[in-house]
Amino acid sequence: MRRALAEDVGSGDLTAELVPAEARASAQVLTREPAVLCGRPWFDAVFRALEPLIRIEWFAAEGAEVRANDVLVRVSGPARAILTGERTALNLLQTLSGTATAARRFVEAVAGTGCRILDTRKTLPGLRTAQKYAVAVAGATNHRQGLFDAILIKENHILAAGSIAAALNAARQRGSRVKVEVEVESLAEFEAALTAGADMALLDEFSHSDLVAAVQLNRARGSPMILEASGGVTLETVRDVALTGVDFISTGSITKHLHAIDLSMRFTLADRK
């Protein structure tokens, strides 16, 4: 929050300084469109970093579905601090609510199939932890946090290593205890990953019929791999993909094709006595 505020406030809020230091105010934040509310801890942290005396009162729970024109939260206290924190707090709330709203729609689309929605590393720079939190709040599942907590062997890794088997062998020789996933782009590559003993396979841009075939091949194996479908999946097509029997569907759209929720803060100056 200090970094986010520094980006906006810098050496000081020159406009807020026009307001008398003793002035007090209250402000309500409402949403102009339906959304999944997410980002309350970030919103709170902005104002607490600026002024511990600011009071924050929420009217909707984290992860709740809210309607257009619902009042989400009220803040009250020193007017300068409320004015200074407004933009940073709203930016975070609208971004994380937008992420959660998109993720929730995908979760709803695959409900009852047994398939789960995964996020990716295609996040806004500096906000990965926050966006992955929003994905989880929406009921979807986090993939790896970064390059340090799982191994995902992709096309360029395979080219550099020489083959899927060689890349997998190198991963095993490292003695890593994390799961090893291989991205494959054809049924032939999938069978190579299956034979080489990968823990997971990312089926990239597979046709519907090839997804079905991969699921059947995998089920015929004694200890089947976890299957993740990805590439070109939309809200309109995601259920059909889920019904092929894959375990996960990953989509970068929930974090990178972001529609920030339209929020508004209504400010009221307290009566002077």
Q: Which residues are catalytic?
A: 87, 122, 154, 183, 204
Distant-in-sequence, close-in-space partners of 32: CB < 8 Å, separation ≥ 6: 68, 69, 262, 263, 264
Pairing of strands 65-66, 35-36: antiparallel
Burial of 266 (0-12, 13-18, 19+ CB in 10 A): exposed
In our burial notation (b when 16+ CB lie closer than 10 A, e otherwise), range 70-99 reads: bebbbbbbbbbbbbbbbebbbbbbbbbbbb
How many residues are given for the chain?
Answer: 273
Contact 228, 181 (CB under 8 A): yes
Other beta carbons within 10 angstroms of residue 68's beta carbon come to 11
* Edge-to-edge strand ranges of the sheet holding 71-78: 55-58, 71-78, 24-31, 263-269
